Amino acid sequence: MCRNIKPLFNFEPPASTNEVRDAALQFVRKVSGYTHPSKANDTAFYAAVDDIEKVVRRMLKELETDAPKRDREVLIARARERAKDRYARAG
């Protein structure tokens, strides 16, 4: 899994349009090996991003859970604490 792709399901507020698009773009970059496709591959690359974005949106609408909604700010704070601990130990 690419580190830049974050979980998008079961958050309050729900995942934004940009978050879904960014995840689709990152996935296609990872699979294709391109950060920026050549002109010859541009159409196929961005068509794949569009397709994956549609599938992810549909999936997020259809997934169900009884778990309470997660709070992004809480998860971000936890990640910062873990990073601070990790980098403090490394130095």
Q: What average pLDDT is seen over the chain? A: 91
Q: What would the mean pLDDT of 39-64 be, rounded to a whole number?
A: 97
b/e sequence 44-65, b meaning 16+ C-beta within 10 Å: ebeebbeebbeebbeeeeeeee
Tens digit of pLDDT for each residue in 4-16?
678 899 998 899 9
Ranges of each domain in the chain: 17-90
Q: Give the torsion through C-alpha atoms of 29, 15, 17, 26, to 10 deg.
A: 0
pTM above 0.75, yes or no: yes
Q: What is the pLDDT, as a whole number, of residue 4?
A: 65
